Amino acid sequence: MSQLVWLSDTHDLTWFPSVDTALKEPDGLLAAGGGLSTERLLAAYRRGIFPWYNAGQPVLWWSPDPRCILYPEEFRLSHSLAKSLRNRGYSTRVDTAFVDVIAACAEPRASGPGT
């Protein structure tokens, strides 16, 4: 049986338990606590772990299984998707407004509390 791991701000900020130990219920809950330092966030994202929690509560760290991970080098554009992109006025961009996106993610929701 898996147990929830509590992280500390005073120990190794890059350490996380194995994603194989994430809880089945709720699906993918791996750890709680710790902070949102850049070092910890980068270490988490590199392992397929992300924070998701409510304000005023401990940070909850998640890694649901299965999790969708996209590898750009493995992406193959189908003929039908290529046609849709050509004919419907879509554009695809990467990192063209990174700072703006991060700032917008930090703004309160128009529909209620939270970010």
pTM: 0.65
From CA 99, how far away is CA 6, in angstroms rounded? 31
CATH number of 5-106: 3.30.70.3550
Does residue 68 have a pLDDT over 80? Answer: no
Contact by Cβ (8 Å): 49, 62: yes
Q: What is the DSSP letter of 76?
A: -
Return the pLDDT at 42.
93
Band the pLDDT of 7: cuts 50, 70, 90: very high
From CA 115, how far away is CA 103, in angstroms rounded? 10
Beta strands in 1-115 (DSSP E): 5-7, 29-33, 50-51, 60-62
Which residue blocks in 64-113 are alpha helix, DSSP H? Answer: 79-87, 98-106
Sheet holding 50-51, edge to edge: 5-7, 29-33, 60-62, 50-51
